[in-house]
């Protein structure tokens, strides 16, 4: 897993921009791209953390994010950075 470094920040920015652009252009849910993206790029350790971190980008899912956060399955830095770049990309 890649720690919170410049490299991980750049990967998250690219993932957010790409998923935002593709989500907006193709009308697909960005979590369809982001969850596997976080895992394949080694940005999180497991599927549960990938889901929790990615859900930050969906305001309707913030109650679920809180539960994931309480269970230690959310990386706030990565999630917020992804959310910002996703909004810019879309």
Confidence class of residue 1 from pLDDT cuts 50, 70 and 90?
Answer: low
Report pTM.
0.85
What per-residue confidence (pLDDT) applies to 47? 94
Average pLDDT of the residues in 47-61: 90
60: number of Cβ within 10 Å? 7
Average pLDDT of the residues in 75-79: 92
pLDDT per residue as tens digits for the range 2-29: 666 889 999 999 999 999 899 888 888 8
What per-residue confidence (pLDDT) applies to 2? 63
- For residue 76 the two structure tokens come to 């706030």
């Amino acid at each position: 897993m890649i720690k919170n470094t410049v490299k991980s920040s750049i990967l998250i920015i690219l993932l957010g921009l790409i998923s935002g652009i593709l989500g907006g252009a193709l009308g697909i849910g960005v979590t369809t791209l982001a969850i596997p993206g976080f895992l394949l790029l080694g940005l999180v350790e497991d599927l549960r953390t990938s889901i929790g971190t990615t859900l930050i980008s969906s305001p309707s899912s913030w109650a679920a994010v809180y539960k994931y956060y309480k269970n230690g399955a959310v990386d706030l830095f990565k999630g917020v950075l992804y959310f910002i770049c996703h909004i810019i990309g879309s």
